[in-house]
Amino acid sequence: MRTLVAPAAVLTVLAGTSGAVAAAPGPAPLAPADLSGSVAATGIALSWRQPAGGPAVASFRVYEGGAVVRRTATTSAPMQYIGVNTTHTYTVTAVSANGVESPPSAPFTGTTWTPGMAPQCDEPAPLTVFDVTSSALSVRWSVGRASPQLALTVNGRDYGIVPGTSLRVGGLSPDTAYAIALRRVNCDPRTPAVGYATVRTLPGATNAAAAPRNLAATAQTDRSIGLAWSAPSDGSYVHQFAVYDGAYRVATTWIPSATITGLFHNTVHRFTVAALDVAGNESEHSPVLSPATAPCPVRPPSPSRLTATAVTPSTLRLDWILESTAGSYTVLDGDSAVATVTDPAAVLTGLAPASPHSLRVVGSLPGCPDTSASAPLTVTTLPGPAGRPAAPLGFHAAQPTTVNTYDADVPLSWTPSPGLAYRLYDGATVVGTYPGNAVTVRTRGAERHQYRLTAVDANGDESPPTAPIDVITPFLPAP
């Protein structure tokens, strides 16, 4: 097999830079908290709690192995098609509008599992009890790899299915032992609790008021949720109301309404309200209300920090960042779309030598309007011969086949021409350069790939690429 290796990068241009880059001003935000994940066969759905206090946060970065693997402007990140039976450890940082990054969160580690060997009903969901007073306590837990639906009981009182990963429980008696248990829904009721703890409330007073009623959302934006409720039905005196999101207090008010601000778009919140007496003791809480902020950001960020690398006289590589989650990106050369890709990087091939290009990028946000275009970046390809091969014909993928429980083969083929080799890309990454008319790529099952092919002549110059082929690799259920 003959392999052609592209020359090393010679010219790199970074949009909007000249000389040294000064450090971003301002203090760092606080670290995100309570990073957790719901683990499935093909991915891990991460979620976390935004920092409570500190400098304002504009976005978040998800890290794996010291590298940024996702940027998002909300408090969740679905890490999809990351390979079956693979282990991943993630941390998350918060980023201010000035680009100052927080310390990392505590890590979360999860292993995707193989269908046929799904975790059972006794899969642990470890819980933590904290912020215990004479009348209330907070519970936080990890979902784990089985069904995320969990039912909570406190001293035998059934609170039903509790959404999210935390809850505040009020109306408790002082100086009393409480047993807290979590059980998975739709499992044999004889199955032991998957999360369990005992705790004693502090000495003091209880709150005799009934729970507030009729909690409802009054308005939602991409950054706020309005709430209103009714006072307890028993007519008892209420000094204040406390609003909780899961286990965490987010507002205290003298009137039966509040607007919770500083939130992020497309996030679900789990609100309850308790009545407080003069000493701050909590009544029982209202039932959980789970509204979401508006799904689309009013002011989405634009792609930024474009970097163009002239690889050969025919090829440019373009990289950028977007502090949000995009479904795809469109690369513009002038006003013409020249590539649509799923990752924040693109390779442009088949270009004329010594030719200038004004490049911009637009992000497509799932279910929302596109971002505005990035600032333009002008770059010129390297000088060299003018000849370019034509784009390969007949590029297609046969049905991927499973090799074993975890791996799959993707057969790719095309129509060859004499004297040419063929370079295969997976996104912006070179898989290899091959003679002939076919190659079979072995990958992990449950991964997503976007393949393109170019023809390469004896000078190492490339043709324009083929249309992309999107592949999600299969896997075998375990026996």
Residue with tokens 């809480």: 285
Radius of gyration from C-alpha coordinates of the chain: 27
Q: Token pair of 371, please?
A: 């971002």
For residue 235, what pLDDT is reported? 79
Task: Tell how strand 393-397 and strand 345-348 pair up.
Answer: unpaired
Q: What is the pTM of this model?
A: 0.88
- Give, for 138, the enclosing helix (H) or strand (E): strand 137-141
Tell me the domains of the chain and their CATH numbers.
12-16+300-380 (2.60.40.10), 33-111 (2.60.40.10), 119-206 (2.60.40.10), 213-278 (2.60.40.10), 393-472 (2.60.40.10)
Q: CA 242, CA 271: separation in Å to the nearest integer?
A: 10
Is residue 27 exposed (0-12), middle (13-18) or buried (19+ Cβ within 10 Å)?
A: exposed
Longest dimension (CA), the chain: 89
Alpha-carbon torsion (219, 224, 225, 226), positive or negative: negative
For residue 404, what pLDDT is reported? 87
For residue 454, what pLDDT is reported? 98
Q: CA 5, CA 168: separation in Å to the nearest integer?
A: 60
For residue 190, what pLDDT is reported? 72
- Cα→Cα distances 165→38, 46, 128, 196, 378, Å: 10, 12, 11, 14, 48
For residue 25, what pLDDT is reported? 72
Along the 479 residues of the chain, how does pLDDT read in single tens digits?
333 333 334 455 555 443 334 455 789 999 999 998 888 888 999 999 999 888 999 999 999 999 999 999 999 999 999 998 899 999 999 999 999 999 999 999 988 876 555 556 777 788 999 999 999 999 998 876 655 678 899 998 999 888 888 999 999 999 999 999 998 887 777 778 888 999 999 999 888 889 999 999 999 999 999 999 999 988 788 999 999 999 999 999 999 999 999 999 999 999 999 999 999 999 999 999 999 999 999 999 999 999 999 999 999 999 999 999 899 999 999 999 999 999 999 999 999 999 999 999 999 998 999 999 999 999 999 999 999 999 999 999 999 999 988 899 999 999 999 999 999 999 999 999 999 999 999 999 999 999 999 999 999 999 999 999 999 999 876 55
DSSP 8-state assignment for residue 397: E
For residue 18, what pLDDT is reported? 37
C-alpha count within 13 angstroms, C-beta hemisphere, residue 26: 16
* Angle (CA) 114 115 118, round 5°: 85
For residue 160, what pLDDT is reported? 87
Nearest to 14 by CA among 315, 349, 374, 326: 374
